[in-house]
């Protein structure tokens, strides 16, 4: 461990912070620095640990994350690399987006980055589905898109978790963010390539973790004659060779239903294209663990790339 890279998780007591710490515990090339519980809000103590770290992970609310970046910047030449798990810097200038499978060169961009913004859980699924299809022109950038998604309640953080555990008195299912101003929309547009604002309708179910993101399409409104097989083939080409993102081929004829919890505990992301010849309808679906590839799993992937231990 003498030559191990050091990581400080600022906000390690939260849901994502705990998950990141647990995953890093098995990494011999990485040593996690801890802060005393009574010092977690002490700016001086946090900055001291930042000075010792090769990399800092921010698991904080947006405004606190911005303040933490300023703390790190105050270290000048000794400032660590940063992975921010909040929404604060996902479309900010100077920050690299931490979805390593976005394009063939994205992992290299992350490796060389000083600042990486970890993706949101909902956008991870939607961007994985839409980015390759917009990039290849199968879906026009100005196409009207609707993104529907359901997550386990852990996706809402500590406040939402407390409404479900231990009594589970919250509703079994509910839509939210119906003002259509969800903070993930700018991120969705920035990395899908969409120029028309999509309608994003998130929901939460009475289960701890797991996620489905679905995008319905009228194929006859797309330019040219786009078929279900064309959409699936484009996704297969884009993610060929990926160890984390898998396109489940032939799902339209073999899977009559999907449940959101199948990938819990993993860092995998599964993509599906459903449709039926003659109907001119298709549904794109992504399945992931909102605490895995949707949060902590992606953060650890980025940490390892940035520290050169991937």
Q: Is the peptide bond before 166 cis (omega within 30 degrees of 0)?
A: yes
Instruction: Tell me the backbone φ, ψ of residue 29, rounded to 5 degrees.
Output: -85, 0
Instruction: Assess whether 121 carries a catalytic annotation.
Output: yes
Active-site option among 58, 102, 121, 215: 121
Number of residues assigned to the chain: 310
Instruction: Tell me the backbone φ, ψ of residue 271, rounded to 5 degrees.
Output: -120, 140
Instruction: Tell me the backbone φ, ψ of residue 13, rounded to 5 degrees.
Output: -85, -10
Burial class of 208 by CB neighbour count within 10 A (0 to 12, 13 to 18, 19+): middle
- The whole-angstrom separation of Cα 264 and Cα 208 is 10
Instruction: Tell me the backbone φ, ψ of residue 30, rounded to 5 degrees.
Output: -130, 135
Cβ–Cβ < 8 Å for 110, 79: no
Beta pairing partners, 203: 150, 175
Q: Spell out the residues 6+ positions from residue 77 whose beta carbon is closer than 8 angstroms to its own.
A: none
Other residues' Cβ atoms within 10 Å of the Cβ of residue 64: 16
For CA atoms 64, 65, 66, 71, the dihedral sign is positive
Cite the active site residues: 121
């Amino acid at each position: 461990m003498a030559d191990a890279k050091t990581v400080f998780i600022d906000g390690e007591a939260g849901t994502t912070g705990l998950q990141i710490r647990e995953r890093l515990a098995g990494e011999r090339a990485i040593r996690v620095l801890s802060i005393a519980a009574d010092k977690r809000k002490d700016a001086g103590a946090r900055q001291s640990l930042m000075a010792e770290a090769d990399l800092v992970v921010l698991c904080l609310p947006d405004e606190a994350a911005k303040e933490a970046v300023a703390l790190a910047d105050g270290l000048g030449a000794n400032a660590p690399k940063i992975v921010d798990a909040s929404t604060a810097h996902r479309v900010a200038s100077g920050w690299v987006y931490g979805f390593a499978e976005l394009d063939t060169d994205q992992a290299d961009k992350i490796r060389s980055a000083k600042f990486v913004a970890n993706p949101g859980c909902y956008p991870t699924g939607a961007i994985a589905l839409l980015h390759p299809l917009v990039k290849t022109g199968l879906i026009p950038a100005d196409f009207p898109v609707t993104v529907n998604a359901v997550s386990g309640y852990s996706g809402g953080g500590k406040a939402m978790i407390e409404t479900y555990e231990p009594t589970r008195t919250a509703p079994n299912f509910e839509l939210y963010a119906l003002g259509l101003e969800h903070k993930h929309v700018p991120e969705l547009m920035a990395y899908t390539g969409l120029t028309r604002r999509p309608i994003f309708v998130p929901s939460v179910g009475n289960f701890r973790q797991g996620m489905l993101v679905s995008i319905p399409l009228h194929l006859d409104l797309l330019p040219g004659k786009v078929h279900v097989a064309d959409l699936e083939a484009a996704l297969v080409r884009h993610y060929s060779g990926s160890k984390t993102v898998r396109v489940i081929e032939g799902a339209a004829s073999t899977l009559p239903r999907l449940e959101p919890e199948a990938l819990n505990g993993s860092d995998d992301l599964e993509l599906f294209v459903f449709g039926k010849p003659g109907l001119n309808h298709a549904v794109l679906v992504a399945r992931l663990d909102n605490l895995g590839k949707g949060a902590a799993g992606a953060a650890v992937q980025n940490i390892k790339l940035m520290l050169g231990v991937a």
